[in-house]
Amino acid sequence: MGILQDRLTEYSQSDFYPYHMPGHKRNPAGTLPGEWTSRDITEIEGFDNLHDATGILQQMQEKAATAYGAEESFYLVNGSTCGILSAISAAVPFGGELLITRNCHKSVYHGAYLRHLSLHYLYPDMLEEYDICEAITAKQVEEALEAHPGVAAVLIVSPTYEGRIADVKAIAEVVHKKGLPLIVDEAHGAHLGFSPDFARNSARLGADIVINSVHKTLPAMTQTALLHVNGGLIDRQILKRHLRIYQTSSPSYVLMSSIEEAVDMVGEESAFEEFVIHWRELLTRLSELKNLRILPNSFEECRKKKQDIGKLIISTKETELSGTKLYDMLLTEYHLQPEMVCESYVLCMFTIGDTKEGYDRLAEALLDIDKQIQGATKTGFGKLQVPETVLPFYEAWDREPEEIPLKDAEGRIAGEFLNLYPPGTPILVPGERLTKDIITFLEKCLSEGLTVQGISREGCIKVLRGRM
């Protein structure tokens, strides 16, 4: 048990009476169980202050920094989102230029909007066999920096939502040659570096700021995250200022104790032993599939450090099934809830929180489904062309839009983000032009039952008034 959890338990059993927030006063409230409320406190004597940590919370953050190989680490209780917003705000001046991977999380775009940043995009290659984006390469970053000399920072995603891992060390070297900071959205990689079978984490590979969603791949409560910082390219005081702006002034001590517990757990040498064993066994069992295909298709592929352990892509591309149909079968017939679905694949996630039963149920379901289906050649969605930017997106997003049917939107300028969710990466950004190909792509997504944020139930989207 972590030091904060110990102290919260001790305090909940003491005779101190709370003449302070929160309003439940550590008693059961309605249907909220007492086990929750008894440990839910505010910044009281002896429990430190997250925004000016000098005691127990400082110790916990120092422990996280040591675990991840960072010079300094910060607890985040507003998820990775507040870390992304703070990192961008600290690294790039207002009105500056930022180089990002196009398939970034929407919080990156929100950070750029708040700071009125001009965005330049890194477009990842496609792994055509599975219809997913590859990780960005150092060469792509180098070429983009030559083309955009005004860039103040670079932000990449690794691992990607689908588990593709970039060569962060090589990218950091390229970025640092220009004297610029590298921000890595490592939200899906809080486990990296804690087993010899995993890729190393970005804090140890030269990144200046790294953001981890602890709750995504470690046994921590939803909304918990970490931000790590290294080197002198980021002004730490400005970073702390923005953390105070974007993060709640009343951080949950229950959530912070959850971060500490997770960091302590993965620091144990044996933490991931069973996880790796189960993962290897799963891939071995699924190698018997005849029609469905998986990525990674072997444990050795993971050990090459290009595909993350724990992210399983189940491709229907060469079968009669769509990704949506496979998702529905897993959900309704086998009572298995995947992480996400796309047109030609389903994504399932595994962590140290999974049981042997969890691995067995998915393996048995996929092998069973595989026997019921046949191979088939299907035409995928294809790769979209790079959209034309007509207006800076922060300017376009602030303009008053009008709502029109998607089918009538060719040539119009997007007034709202159009995101596939999950993972929340944009198909179109405000200020970009809708083309016939983009409209066809969106219509296909909707026909497959995929969730496209930015399109109403009536099939309408927001565009800027008038034609440009």
pLDDT tens for 274-298 read: 999 999 999 999 999 999 999 999 9
Average pLDDT along the chain:
94
Distance CA 185, CA 84 (A): 7
**What single-letter DSSP state applies at residue 468?**
-
What predicted TM-score, i.e. pTM, was given to this entire model? Answer: 0.94
Give which of 413, 406, 418 is closest to 391, Cα–Cα.
413
Q: Which residues contact 312 (CB under 8 A, 6 or more apart)?
A: 282, 294, 295, 296, 347, 348, 349, 350, 362
Q: With 0-12 CB in 10 A as exposed, 13-18 as middle and 19+ as buried, what is 2?
A: buried
Are 92 and 34 within 8 A, CB to CB? no
Beta strands (DSSP E) in 230-344 are: 293-295, 311-315, 340-342
Are 413 and 390 within 8 A, CB to CB? yes
Are 70 and 210 within 8 A, CB to CB? yes
pLDDT (average), residues 146-160: 98
pLDDT (average), residues 201-224: 97
Distance CA 422, CA 105 (A): 10
pLDDT tens for 225-268 read: 999 999 999 999 999 999 999 999 999 999 999 999 999 999 88
What is 273-372's CATH topology?
Aspartate Aminotransferase, domain 1 (3.90.1150)
Alpha helices by DSSP H, 128-167 = 138-147
Tokens at 276, concatenated: 């790796």
For residue 39, the SS3 value is coil
What CA–CA distances, in Å, run from 213 to 132, 222, 265? 22, 9, 16
Asked whether this chain's domains 273-372 and 393-464 adopt the same fold, the reply is: no
Distance CA 116, CA 434 (A): 23
Are 428 and 412 within 8 A, CB to CB? no
Greatest pairwise CA separation for the chain in angstroms: 70
Enclosing H/E stretch for 280: helix 273-286
Tokens at 346, concatenated: 């389903």
Distance CA 357, CA 334 (A): 13
Q: Is the pLDDT score of 377 beyond 60?
A: yes
Are 319 and 329 within 8 A, CB to CB? no
Distance CA 438, CA 412 (A): 12
Lowest mean pLDDT of 47-61, 148-162, 294-308, 332-346, name the range: 294-308
pLDDT (average), residues 317-323: 92
At 151, the amino acid letter reads V
Q: Is the pLDDT score of 379 beyond 60?
A: no
Which pLDDT belongs to residue 34?
A: 84
Q: Is the pLDDT score of 423 beyond 90?
A: no
Residue found under tokens 């299907």 = 378
pLDDT tens for 4-26 read: 999 999 999 999 999 999 999 99
Enclosing H/E stretch for 211: strand 209-212
Q: Which of 288 and 128 is assigned the larger pLDDT?
A: 288
Beta strands (DSSP E) in 77-169 are: 97-101, 118-122, 126-127, 132-133, 151-157
Each domain of the chain, given as residue ranges in start order, spans 48-266, 273-372, 393-464
For residue 136, the SS3 value is coil
Q: Which of 281 and 304 is assigned the larger pLDDT?
A: 281
Which pLDDT belongs to residue 230?
A: 98
Enclosing H/E stretch for 460: strand 460-464
**CATH architecture of the domain with residue range 48-266:** 3-Layer(aba) Sandwich (3.40)
3-state helix, strand, coil in the chain (%, to 5): 35, 20, 45
Distance CA 380, CA 241 (A): 46
Q: Rounded to a whole number, what is the distance in angstroms from the first to the last CA of the chain?
A: 61
Superfamily for the 393-464 domain:
Molybdopterin biosynthesis moea protein, domain 2 (3.90.105.10)
Q: With cut-offs at 50, 70 and 90, classify the pLDDT of residue 426.
A: confident
**What single-letter DSSP state applies at residue 227?**
E
Share of the chain above pLDDT 70, in %: 98
